[in-house]
Amino acid sequence: MKEVIDQLELTYQRIKLFIPERKRPFFRTLNTENIRSFLLYGPRGVGKTTFLIDTIKDKNFLYLSADSLAIHAYPLYDIIKEIFARGYDGVVVDEIHFSNNWIMHIKNVYDDYPDKYIWISDSSNLILQKGMGDLSRRFVQYRMPMLSFREYVYLNEGIYYDPVDVFSNYEHLMHIIKGINIIKLFKDYITGGLRPIFFEGQYCNRLKSLLEKSIYHDIPFYVPSIQENHLQLMNAIVSHLLTSPIPTINISGMCRDWGVSKDKLYSLLNVMDKSELIKIVQRKGNKHIYSKGGKIFLGDSSMYYCFNGNIGSAREAFIVFSLGEKYPIFASDNEKEYDYQVGRYTIEVGGRNKKNKKADFVIKDDIDIPYKNNFPLWMVGFCF
């Protein structure tokens, strides 16, 4: 055990050396001061570990990742007990679901060490909903989304802007395009920059690995009685959404082709949505617990570009992601009039030549400045 803790301390010191100088502006919105227990969740590769290490680097905390081979021989409770015995005030456990019986161990640590800080992270808030009972109410939950274009501009160019209401107050964004090639920068972002893993190179290969890890290693922790054909079915859902010009799936057809019940398919869709692999966009007023909604997109719009997907779906997936971080967004009940209702506005989404129907705004790709009620896709990336 002593050697294991020594190794964790060494690893933590090594990781601290590689914290980037310029960090996501989103980090500033997460207030962890004096919070004894919290869960940080969000898609893989968005910067959760960087945030945790940066936040505790000047605190008397120790960081460890539950997927580390160094700790698998010991119960998590015993490891944390030894960490506290060394005088640490708090512990951060990353990738918490990889630890065996972690729910029981974290609950016991929480109860036995009321003066210590316990921070955990995972790829979905489903981790707290799965059997933690009262503990789920005691853990403050923070979600970290993928990068906004506003953050991407800051990380690459060092230019910081506050979020804007793109529907009513975007004029002061106009001077941005005077200093940078906004179209090129946005293309770089939307095709390979929605996660800060782009700093490491080979973005699309890394994205593929994250997708596989989410399906084969993360989701099985959240879905009871998952089988091999369920994993293959989720891959099939991703592949279908990637290339289909119609962003939805045929529930009856997939159930028949894959030999699963509708309840199981809806359960898989729900956990894929909660894990942000996909995004189910409901129609307004839909109260069903399980639903395929009005439209379904991949959660990360850069996947469409990395894996030769449908570009029309990519645009809409980006709109749903970006605007959905700030506004309630619903699929239209009548697409002859508009594509989405966003807050109190209706919008159309398309390329440069997209015509308006009856929408309040038309959001277009491949234009650099707004005119009349048309504004460029890149501006949406500044809403959060």
Structure confidence at residue 206 as a pLDDT band (50, 70, 90): very high
For residues 174 and 294, the model is more confident at 294
The pLDDT score that the predictor gives to residue 12 is 96
Q: How far apart are CA 187 and CA 311, in angstroms?
A: 12
The pLDDT score that the predictor gives to residue 40 is 95
Mean pLDDT on 348-376: 89
pLDDT at 329 over 60: yes
Q: pLDDT per residue over 90-142, tens digit each?
A: 999 999 988 988 989 999 999 999 999 999 999 887 877 765 666 777 889 99
The pLDDT score that the predictor gives to residue 300 is 97
Domain 2-143, CATH: 3.40.50.300
The pLDDT score that the predictor gives to residue 131 is 56
- The phi, psi pair for 27, rounded to 5°, reads -55, -35
The pLDDT score that the predictor gives to residue 134 is 66
SS3 state at 166: coil
Q: How far apart are CA 372 and CA 339, in angstroms?
A: 19
Q: pLDDT per residue over 37-89, tens digit each?
A: 999 999 999 999 999 999 999 999 999 999 998 898 899 999 999 999 999 99
Extract the tokens encoding 163. Answer: 């979020």
pLDDT at 366 over 90: no
- The phi, psi pair for 252, rounded to 5°, reads -60, -40
First to last CA, the chain: 44
Q: How far apart are CA 106 and CA 383, in angstroms?
A: 37
**Considering the chain, what percentage of its residues have pLDDT values greater than 70?**
98
Alpha helices in the chain (DSSP H): 2-16, 48-56, 76-85, 102-112, 126-129, 134-138, 149-157, 176-179, 182-192, 203-213, 228-243, 251-258, 262-274, 302-306, 311-324, 377-380
Cβ–Cβ < 8 Å for 302, 207: yes
Mean pLDDT on 156-182: 82
**Alpha carbon separation from 272 to 107, 168, 212 (Å, rounded):** 27, 34, 13
Residue ranges of domains in the chain = 2-143, 149-380
Give the CA angle between residues 358, 361, 367 to the nearest 5°. Answer: 125
Mean per-residue pLDDT of the chain? 92
| Radius of gyration in angstroms for the set of CA atoms belonging to the chain, rounded to a whole number | 22
The pLDDT score that the predictor gives to residue 151 is 97
Q: How far apart are CA 242 and CA 246, in angstroms?
A: 10
Q: How far apart are CA 222 and CA 339, in angstroms?
A: 33
Mean pLDDT on 160-164: 89
Residue 13, classified by CB atoms within 10 Å of its CB into exposed (0-12), middle (13-18) or buried (19+), is exposed
Q: Which amino acid is at 359?
A: A
Q: pLDDT per residue over 222-271, tens digit each?
A: 887 889 999 999 999 999 999 999 999 999 999 999 999 999 999 999 99
Q: What is the largest distance, in Å, between two alpha-carbon atoms of the chain?
A: 68
Q: pLDDT per residue over 282-314, tens digit each?
A: 998 887 777 899 999 999 999 999 999 999 999
Cβ–Cβ < 8 Å for 315, 349: yes
SS3 state at 243: helix
Alpha helices in 26-101 (DSSP H): 48-56, 76-85
pLDDT at 17 over 70: yes
Q: How far apart are CA 254 and CA 363, in angstroms?
A: 33
